[in-house]
Amino acid sequence: MTQLPPERNGTDPATDWHALLAGDDSRPVGDRTAARPEQAPPAAARDAGQPMTRREAREAEQRRAAAIEAEERHAAAIAAAEAATAAVTAVPSQPAGFDTLGAPSRSERRAEISDPHEPGRPRRRGAWGCLIGLVVVIALGVGAFFFLQGPITALVDRFQPAEDFEGTGTGEVVFMIHEGDTGTSIADNLASEDIVASAQAFTEALAEADPTPIFYPGAYLMAEQMSAQSALDALLDPANKLENTFVIQEGMWAKNALAEAAAVTGLPIEELEAAAADVTTLGLPAEATGVEGFLFPATYTVDPDITAPALVKMLVDRSFEALDAAGVAPEDRWRTVVKASLIEREAGLRDDYYKVSRVIDNRLNPELFDSGLLQFDSTVHYGLGDDSVVTTTDAQRADPANAYNTYVHPGMPPGPIGNPGDLAIDAALHPADGSWLYFVTVNLDTGETVFSATIDEHDAAVELFLAWLADHPEYGG
């Protein structure tokens, strides 16, 4: 650019337009917000030393004023940007080398990222750094979740309302309260029969009842899926108690079934037992010495004036009806009922009934199992008259005096070991296909049963059962 000589040497630098046109701004550094861009020469530049005309001086003054105005707008923009940044977060003072807008140059930005040794400068996190940080945060979160999952779940369960149905339920079901039942056992039985959603909901309703409820043994007409409060109200309503109604459950021993009938009807147990011993009058098979196996599981409502012989005959005739409906000929009743009673006492889940039936057949087949021993704990229990445990001892299994000890005596036991229902009778007639020789229930709460074809497989399953028993001493293991 061609320098124009000063025409007024003693003027204030702020108004010396010759100096401005020449790009020589002699103001102190603190008075300049930023360096001005270089000015373009006038359209008609004059030779050095030639004075300006009045018009040229006026145009130069206008350009100077425009430059000052642009400089002031620039300074105002910088101040606004700095104020906005300060409003978001506090940052260090502007370092040297920043341009007029306070932003680093491209080379300085590269240096800021790549120089890890420069003190005082915050380092920017690269893409890999962000990814690693995210992975660490996620890992810590997942670890904390699993670490705290147990305590959190227990805390939630503690304060979460018990599962409960709504309303008064649907359909009809007969519910039995037995002599000696407590509020806890009644709650468990209600839940197992799907009358209430959970035992906890019923016990909570009991706790809130005032006065404390009193339950009486007997049969009660209930509904399925009732709210806990509705179930409690129904059990306390005398109108729902069925007079002279009792229930024989699947697999129940005959002596217990007769005791249930006596408690409800008021008939002396001695009269019922005497009537049950009259096998000829009852029309039982020739092999029978009593009514065991022929008191069909069902709900019975009897006339208040019924006699003991009439009541027992009614129960036995109901068993014959079920056997006839299943297609069992009269001459096959005994063999079918004995096998069905074993299935009823040994099987848990529905499909297991048909598998247990096959195991019985396989173990009694000398080509598959030469000893012919069933080795069922349930038969040993029946011979001992003890139904309080699920296992047997070495001495009990070795005792030949027990005629029902199938660990010692091969073949079928001498008679039924309980009263089978429709499912057990059908399974006795239609065993599942399979080569199983062993089975063991490994979870008495769920009924989960493992069926095996070899002794090694069975031994492994027995270890599972023993471990389960060790954790559940209430089963007398």
Structure tokens at 177: 């309260």
233 and 287 inside one domain: no
Q: Of 242, 277, 301, which residue is a domain's last? A: 242
Q: Is residue 423 part of a domain?
A: yes
Q: Report which of 440, 253, 445 is spatially closest to residue 356, judged by C-alpha positions.
A: 440
Q: Is residue 291 part of a domain?
A: yes
2 and 39 inside one domain: yes
Question: Which residues, listed in sequence order, are joined to residue 440 by a DSSP beta bridge?
Answer: 450
304 and 368 inside one domain: yes
Q: Of 112, 138, 154, which residue is a domain's last? A: 112
424 and 297 inside one domain: yes
289 and 392 inside one domain: yes
How many domains, in total, are found in the chain? Answer: 3
pLDDT higher than 60, residue 409: yes
Q: Of 89, 112, 135, which residue is a domain's last? A: 112
Q: Is residue 174 part of a domain?
A: yes
Q: Is residue 402 part of a domain?
A: yes
268 and 199 inside one domain: no
* Predicted pLDDT of residue 53: 62
Q: Is residue 139 part of a domain?
A: no
Q: Is residue 155 part of a domain?
A: no
Which residues span the domain enclosing 77? 1-112
Determine what percent of the chain is predicted with pLDDT higher than 90: 56
Q: Which of the four pLDDT bands, split at 50, 70 and 90, describes residue 141?
A: low
315 and 225 inside one domain: no
Q: Is residue 2 part of a domain?
A: yes
pLDDT higher than 80, residue 95: no
Degrees (nearest 5) of the Cα angle 396, 401, 407? 50
3-state secondary structure of 138: helix
C-alpha pair distances (Å), 403 with each of 2, 314, 338, 396, 439: 133, 30, 14, 12, 22
229 and 278 inside one domain: no
412 and 291 inside one domain: yes
Residues 6 or more apart whose Cβ sits within 8 Å of residue 427: 340, 343, 347, 353, 354, 356, 357
Q: Terminal CA-to-CA distance of the chain, rounded, Å? A: 109
pLDDT higher than 70, residue 451: yes
3-state secondary structure of 178: coil
Report the CATH number that the domain containing residue 193 is assigned in CATH.
Answer: 3.30.1490.480
18 and 53 inside one domain: yes
301 and 238 inside one domain: no
Query: Which of the pair, 33 or 217, is modelled with greater confidence?
Result: 217
Contact (CB, 8 A) for 36 and 21: no
pLDDT higher than 70, residue 453: yes
Kindly report the number of other CB atoms within 10 A of residue 112's CB atom: 15
387 and 332 inside one domain: yes
* Predicted pLDDT of residue 108: 45
Amino acid identity of 407?
Y
Determine phi and psi for 57, rounding to 5 degrees: -65, -40
